[in-house]
Amino acid sequence: MTESDPAAELVREGEEALDLGEFDHALECFEEALRVDPEHYGATLDRSETLHLMWRTKEALEAALDASPPPDEEDDPDRVDLEGRIRESAGDFHGADALFQEAHELDPEEFPLPVRMSAEDFRSILDKVLESLPEAIRSALVEVPVLVEAKPTIAIADRAPEITPEVLGLFVGTPVGEKLQTSGGYPDVVLLFQRNLERAGRSRAEVAKEIKITLLHEYGHYLGFDEEELEHLGLA
């Protein structure tokens, strides 16, 4: 009979919680796994990922840098890519792109390079996507404009605690059916996060597709659909 591996079991439980967005529980599992096995590479990397998604950027970066790749590898593209995403969230775009390049060189298939483009180029693609949206959503653009930001920030997360640094877009405001309630003095807006969207596709066409899906999802929130309804509509 094979003996159980407590650290591995904790990591599996933590990864399941991470997939469900249960970040506090996931972090507890990974930290307990590291108490059992301080050298556990997977737990170290997963802990870093969880801290990153919880907006604990400094701790996440320290954990990513502390992770030692397997002895037979010069570096692990998963670790390199994670460090890049953390640095990107910290505003170090140059350092992040260097790490994305390194991860791509280590594993080109799993880690394609981001489809970087200028703000003007991105806006041009966005304008074409907007023209292709259903009439109900194009009509909503008058009341709820689209703004493009490079990345989500902690200030944005303060207004939408459910988001992570990896989110592609966000509706900020009051859905149509709740307009009698206060919106806290903020205008309704849909935010798109360019650098995240540039990493969501392998080509300009795929990025355009991700922009469209994200807009349909976020304007769905404005029109009053919840996550379950959006999933039923294929927009989750």
pLDDT at 229: 55
Q: pLDDT by residue (tens digit) across 203-217?
A: 999 999 999 999 988
DSSP per position, 3-56: PP-HHHHHHHHHHHHHHTT-HHHHHHHHHHHHHH-TT-HHHHHHHHHHHHHTT-
Q: What is the pTM of this model?
A: 0.88
Nearest Cα to Cα of residue 84 among 56, 104, 110, 107: 104
**Regions of the chain where pLDDT drops below 50:** 1-2, 183, 230, 233-236
Domain annotation for the chain: domains and CATH numbers: 6-106 (1.25.40.10), 119-232 (3.30.2010.20)
Tell me the β-bridge partners of 217. Answer: none
